[in-house]
Amino acid sequence: MKTDRSHELFTRALELIPGGVNSPVRAFKSVGGEPFFAQRAEGAYLYDVDGNRYVDYVGSWGPMIAGHAHPHVLEAVARTMRDGLSFGVPNPLEVTMAETIARLVPSCEMVRMVNSGTEATLSAIRLARGATGRARIVKFEGCYHGHGDSFLVKAGSGVMTLGLPNSPGVPAALADLTLTLPYNDFDAATRLFEEIGQEIAALIIEPIVGNANCILPREGYLQHLRALCTKHGALLIFDEVMTGFRVALGGAQARYGITPDLSTFGKIIGGGMPVGAYGGRRELMQQIAPAGPIYQAGTLSGNPVAMAAGLATLDLIQAPGFHDGLERRTHALCEGLEAAAREAGVAFCTTRAPGMFGLYFREGPVETFEDAKASDTARFNRFFHAMLRRGVYLAPSAFEAGFVSSAHGDAEIAHTLAAAREAFAEVA
């Protein structure tokens, strides 16, 4: 495998970009080695600047649910950009996007577009505090909601990967307003709300944790949180930046039958372009400026090209049977990986939901953040590089979910499993 060109680019990047990357997990610091630099992508594949091809299970961290460079999405982008890239005034596609989200996610009676998932979660928290008149928020260990100050307390994603439980630069006074619970612990949530429920503005959660690898909720857990929030007057916020439109057409809230007060989105609704959104009950959303007093703004929010890419992607995933097919592909991949590990005598288990999965080098089940941390990360790192050498790109961290797209067909999964059999034998 040639890496000369990627090495040259990374060397140059290190001189001018912190860590050589514009988002920490891309640096391969967790798994070791240097990142490759992508040249192009198509379908289920990434191609790097040295001419190597990889079956891609990162999918730009989630947006590429229909595969890279889908013609329907590219055509929508090309058609829209001919009329201009940004206007600074309303455009028709913003309205269509709001209508589409509201139709697919009934809890979102109104929607505000923003430019990233982080911006969406920050805005939702501000709205919750403004609407309730309370200051405290509750999050969960291992859940990552972007890099806002309120969220970098026992966070997942790159924070967990790099071993940083919080971040310098976050004021202690603000961190003190963020309370953290263990995910999937019924009793801990009940005790916290019984003690200070009247002080809590909102509870924010990844309904399926995707930033401590992939942890699914225990039966009844999300319903329990909904009941606690309702009883104590706190708002329930589902961070569906990752799960939205992926694990079901209506997101995790549709899959588990929960109605949150507010929801945040990103990734898929931009089709690969920078995007975010938050939405919820009408009486809450009407408190956002200019309809109400809670301020939030964005120069590029509702960008027409991003809206076009997102609407084209949402159009594709509404095809009959789309999510059923995604679930079958995910199941086939995970079952095959577990079988390959058993053959090699390697302790290994997977977690999965339609279109996303987690890999853990330990016996299952994995249901909590503590379970996830008990995974053999050193063995995962060796496995990651063994797979990369065989043309399979997994998330470069033991604490990030993987993603399957509709472009991952039988051939791509067969190649992945053949590579895995060799890789498991290598790390056994």
355 Rama sector, left if φ>0, alpha if ψ -120 to 50, beta otherwise: left
Q: Do strands 136-140 and 178-181 pair parallel, antiparallel, or not at all (unpaired)?
A: parallel
Annotation marks residue 267 as catalytic: yes
Q: Is the dihedral of CA 268, 272, 273, 275 positive or negative?
A: positive
Gap between the Cα atoms of 166 and 99, Å rounded: 38
The candidate with the shortest Cα–Cα distance to 40, out of 14, 15, 74, 10, is 74
Gap between the Cα atoms of 385 and 45, Å rounded: 17
Gap between the Cα atoms of 200 and 128, Å rounded: 10
Q: Tally Cβ neighbours within 10 Å of residue 53.
A: 12
Bridge partners of residue 47, in order along the sequence = 40, 53
Q: How many Cα atoms occupy the beta-carbon half-sphere of 307 within 13 Å?
A: 26
Looking up tokens 């060397």, which residue turns up?
11
DSSP 142-181: T----S-GGG-BS--HHHHHTT-SB-TTS-HHHHTTEEEE
Indicate which residue of 239, 261, 371, 393 is catalytic: 239
Gap between the Cα atoms of 3 and 6, Å rounded: 5
Annotation marks residue 144 as catalytic: yes
Indicate which residue of 45, 144, 278, 393 is catalytic: 144
> Nearest 5°: CA angle at 342, between 365 and 412?
95
Annotation marks residue 278 as catalytic: no
The candidate with the shortest Cα–Cα distance to 246, out of 65, 42, 399, is 65
Indicate which residue of 29, 139, 154, 267 is catalytic: 267
Nearest 10 degrees: Cα torsion 357, 362, 364, 365: -70
Sequence-distant (≥ 6) Cβ neighbours of residue 162 within 8 angstroms: 24, 29, 30
Q: Tally Cβ neighbours within 10 Å of residue 171.
A: 9
Known catalytic residues are: 144, 239, 267
